[in-house]
């Protein structure tokens, strides 16, 4: 099938590359010339395991190409995916500026009938708005239908999730569009949920809101466990073995970040507000998450009352492991709070350093290894559970730091691992180990 994908971010690029790998002819369109040039040279602008190999392979086999030219990109495409960003607007709602721009660009350049498929996470009703906007601006005599195909990939395992996800959701009020999308996705061999437009849009928000709720819930349990002498690792294990609860997303820590959970939970609250439907559970999910980021710094401050000129090694900056994405990463708030207390912050991340430099204060220093970050540090704080950080031997903290004082915001080590290591270890929802 001939497919265009608009937007080559985490979602658009992975979608385009994976669809081409199934044998479809794919042209990805982006307004960012540098990105497009890089991609045509086989270089991925984002870090995702396995992506660059698939990109090179499908470029070589001439099934995949990148352009900034909408006329070329849309020529003879039966399906046009919209995968541009929908960031959070000032009032918490999704900002549709990029979606609207993409619609106008489609309308001005589309020369044949096509199904417009929205991958971007958009408020319920947006696909109808997309149809109206494109139809109102069409330059040529062509007809379109619309479908919603929300994306569930996780950054850090995006390629794996595209081929091995739990389900594909396709929604449309047009039977032919649904059939076409079913055919396009058949190669993934995943269960397909077919529904109407609005339900498909709602499935995406409801899924993310539920996962965010699970995280805030376990964090609330962790905070209580700590105060009453329970261990959240054991609590979560005991809960998760109940199949009705499930073991995933029960890792206590400093809360969720990234480009999806924070904005999507706020967006669904805003969708509710627009129809005078309160969302008290989700309001609290957001509050608990925001508070959770301060907890690690508050603990540290309680233990080391004067942080001025103390060297604090911050380990992990990206919002989660295996990605270079810094959007809404808890490290942004945490480093800010540490700098406010006049600490000297030396940070290390295996891949997110360049992106971090763009969003963190220029007072933050960067180390090129964990060893260098913790060398002669007064305190270490773990903010992202990278494998490298989880595998860093505890005795190295003891050997290198002025005082082996570790605050772990991601519970990277079991308490048994820490006992007798000589490290003073503070984590989330578990007793302190001295």
Least Å distance between CB 174 and ligand NAD? 22
Distance, in Å, from the CA atom of 142 to the CA atom of 129, rounded to the nearest integer, reads 18
Backbone angles phi, psi at 70, to 5 degrees: -60, -35
Distance, in Å, from the CA atom of 105 to the CA atom of 381, rounded to the nearest integer, reads 46
* Segment interacting with ligand NAD (CB under 6 A) among 2-10, 220-228, 298-306, 391-399: 2-10
Choice from 105, 233, 324, 349 touching ligand NAD (CB under 6 A):
105
Distance, in Å, from the CA atom of 223 to the CA atom of 216, rounded to the nearest integer, reads 11
Residue-wise burial string across 50-60, b where 16 or more C-beta atoms lie within 10 A, e elsewhere:
ebbebbbebbe
83 interacts with ligand NAD by CB under 6 A = yes
Q: 405 near 313, Cβ under 8 Å?
A: no
SS3 242: coil
Choice from 3, 24, 26, 30 touching ligand NAD (CB under 6 A):
30
Write the CB contacts of 360 (distance below 8 Å, at least 6 apart in sequence). Answer: 317, 331, 332, 335, 347
Burial class (CB in 10 A: 0-12, 13-18, 19+), 370: buried
Helix (H) or strand (E) holding 79: strand 79-82
Catalytic residue status for 260: yes
124 interacts with ligand NAD by CB under 6 A = no
Least Å distance between CB 307 and ligand NAD? 34
* Segment interacting with ligand NAD (CB under 6 A) among 58-66, 113-121, 243-251, 284-292: 113-121
Least Å distance between CB 125 and ligand NAD? 15
Distance, in Å, from the CA atom of 220 to the CA atom of 223, rounded to the nearest integer, reads 5
The residue with tokens 């669809």 is 19
31 interacts with ligand NAD by CB under 6 A = yes
Angstrom distances, CA of residue 365 to CA of 76, 134, 144, 238, 313 = 50, 48, 52, 41, 10
Least Å distance between CB 309 and ligand NAD? 38
133 interacts with ligand NAD by CB under 6 A = no
256 interacts with ligand NAD by CB under 6 A = no
Choice from 58, 259, 335, 353 touching ligand NAD (CB under 6 A):
259
Residue 375 carries which DSSP code? T
32 interacts with ligand NAD by CB under 6 A = yes
15 interacts with ligand NAD by CB under 6 A = no
Pairing relation of β-strands 424-426 and 79-82?
unpaired
Q: State which of positions 136-175 bind ligand NAD (CB under 6 A).
A: 151, 153, 155
Smaller CB separation from ligand NAD, 260 or 307? 260
48 interacts with ligand NAD by CB under 6 A = no
**What is the CA 294 to chain-centroid distance, rounded?**
21
Please pick, among 18, 28, 103, 260, the residue that the annotation labels catalytic. 260
Distance, in Å, from the CA atom of 247 to the CA atom of 243, rounded to the nearest integer, reads 8
CB-nearest residue to ligand NAD:
9
6 interacts with ligand NAD by CB under 6 A = yes
Choice from 101, 136, 281, 399 touching ligand NAD (CB under 6 A):
101
Smaller CB separation from ligand NAD, 179 or 354? 354
Smaller CB separation from ligand NAD, 12 or 350? 12
257 interacts with ligand NAD by CB under 6 A = no
260 interacts with ligand NAD by CB under 6 A = yes
300 interacts with ligand NAD by CB under 6 A = no
Write the CB contacts of 137 (distance below 8 Å, at least 6 apart in sequence). Answer: 103, 104, 107, 108
Q: 375 near 328, Cβ under 8 Å?
A: no
Smaller CB separation from ligand NAD, 312 or 352? 352
329 interacts with ligand NAD by CB under 6 A = no
CA-nearest of 157, 148, 218 to 181 is 148
Active-site residues, by number, are 260
Instruction: Please report, as ranges, the residues that interact with ligand NAD according to CB under 6 A.
Output: 6-12, 29-32, 35, 83-86, 98, 101-102, 105, 119-121, 151, 153, 155, 259-260
């Amino acid at each position: 099938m001939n497919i265009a994908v608009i937007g080559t971010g985490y979602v658009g690029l992975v979608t385009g590359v994976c669809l081409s790998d199934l044998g479809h002819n794919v042209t990805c369109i982006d307004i960012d010339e540098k990105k497009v040039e890089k991609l045509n040279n086989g270089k991925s602008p984002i870090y995702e395991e396995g992506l660059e190999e698939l990109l090179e392979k499908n470029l070589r086999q001439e099934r995949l190409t990148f352009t900034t030219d909408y006329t070329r990109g849309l020529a003879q495409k039966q399906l046009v995916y919209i995968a541009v960003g929908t960031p959070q607007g000032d009032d918490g709602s999704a900002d549709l500026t990029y979606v609207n721009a993409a619609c106008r660009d489609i309308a001005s350049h589309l020369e044949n009938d096509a199904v417009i498929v929205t991958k971007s996470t958009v408020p319920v009703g947006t696909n109808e708005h997309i149809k109206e906007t494109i139809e109102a601006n069409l330059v040529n005599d062509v007809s379109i239908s619309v479908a919603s195909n929300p994306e569930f990939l996780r950054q850090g395992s995006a390629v794996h999730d595209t081929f091995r996800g739990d389900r594909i959701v396709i929604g449309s009020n047009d039977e032919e569009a649904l059939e076409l999308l079913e055919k396009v996705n058949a190669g993934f061999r995943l269960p397909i949920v077919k529904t109407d437009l609005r339900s498909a849009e709602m499935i995406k928000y409801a899924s993310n809101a539920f996962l965010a709720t699970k995280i805030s819930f376990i964090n609330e349990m962790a905070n209580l466990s700590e105060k009453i002498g329970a261990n959240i690792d054991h609590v979560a294990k005991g809960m998760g073995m109940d199949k009705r609860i499930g073991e995933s997303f029960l890792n206590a820590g400093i809360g969720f970040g990234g480009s999806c959970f924070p904005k999507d939970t706020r967006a669904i609250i805003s969708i509710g507000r627009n129809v005078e439907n309160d969302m008290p559970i989700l309001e609290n999910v957001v509050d608990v998450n925001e508070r959770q980021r301060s907890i690690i710094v508050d603990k540290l401050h309680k233990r080391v009352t004067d942080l001025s000129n103390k060297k604090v090694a911050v380990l992990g900056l990206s919002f989660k492991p295996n990605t270079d994405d810094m959007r809404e990463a808890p490290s942004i708030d945490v480093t800010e709070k540490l700098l406010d207390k006049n600490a000297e912050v030396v940070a290390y991340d295996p891949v997110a350093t360049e992106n971090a430099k763009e969003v963190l204060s220029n007072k933050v220093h960067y180390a090129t290894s964990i060893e260098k970050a913790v060398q002669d540090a007064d305190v270490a704080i773990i903010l992202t559970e990278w494998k490298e950080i989880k595998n860093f031997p505890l005795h190295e903290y003891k050997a290198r730091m002025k005082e082996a004082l570790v605050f772990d915001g991601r519970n990277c080590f079991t308490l048994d691992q820490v006992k007798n290591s000589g490290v003073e270890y503070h984590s989330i929802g578990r007793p302190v180990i001295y």
